[in-house]
Amino acid sequence: MPITVEHVTHFLSVAAKLIHAHRDELTALDAAIGDADHGANLDRGLAAVLARLPAVADKDIGTVLKTTGMTIVSTVGGASGPLYGTAFVRAGMALADRHELGAEDVALALEAALDGIVARGKAQRGEKTMVDALAPAIDALRAALAAGQPLDHALQVAAAAAQDGALATIPMLAMKGRASYLGERSIGHQDPGATSTAYILRALAMTCSRSEEVA
């Protein structure tokens, strides 16, 4: 079953609900190594995205994602705004003029999002950032699809890999952003950006496994 614009808007709605539900957790994680505003900022940004979606409901998937990215850039403070904004804009560029997506399109969009984050944040794996959740998720997705698994199951595998990746940031030394100023004191804390990334990947998996909920 192809992914449509309705699936994408439903995914954004589920992501907004998950981030809102975990807002305090994300803020607490950020309080330990950042500015204590990651949860609140991302929650506000995704709420703004939901408010903008009706205006692009009849547009292509690329336009929906680019609008999402630009809205996040304009409403989310700190480093996460430009990073998430760039990720969604790049994904939208990869899916320009598309009204339906297959499994390969989803993988390409996630890879474009990762490339955008790496280009904007100059981050690599192992530096305690959202890259440490998104990159292994893409690897897991690609492996599952190559093994012949359907997209809904492959995305569940990817979401689990993102969660594992977020947990794996705990013993890492932060090398980017505000957390890097703490040096070795950043060790022992889970990265908030990797954690929110894992929740967004979970939302994507939930959307594809429960497509009957799309309205």
**For the chain, which residues make up each domain, given as ranges?**
3-213
Count Cβ atoms within 10 A of the Cβ of residue 190 and give its class: 0-12 exposed, 13-18 middle, 19 or more buried: buried
> What local confidence, expressed as pLDDT, does residue 31 receive?
92
Other Cβ atoms within 10 Å of 212 Cβ, number: 6
> What local confidence, expressed as pLDDT, does residue 201 receive?
98
> pTM (2 decimals)?
0.93
Longest Cα–Cα distance in the chain? 49
At a CB cut-off of 8 Å and minimum separation 6, what does 107 contact? 138, 141, 142, 145
Tell me yes or no: is domain 3-213 CATH 1.25.40.340: yes
Tens of pLDDT, residue by residue over 18-40, are 999 999 999 999 999 888 899 99
Tens of pLDDT, residue by residue over 81-99, are 999 999 999 999 999 999 9
Number of residues in the chain:
215
CA distance 11 to 74: 21
> What local confidence, expressed as pLDDT, does residue 213 receive?
43
Q: Name residues of the chain where pLDDT drops below 50.
A: 211-215
> What local confidence, expressed as pLDDT, does residue 34 receive?
84
> What local confidence, expressed as pLDDT, does residue 214 receive?
35
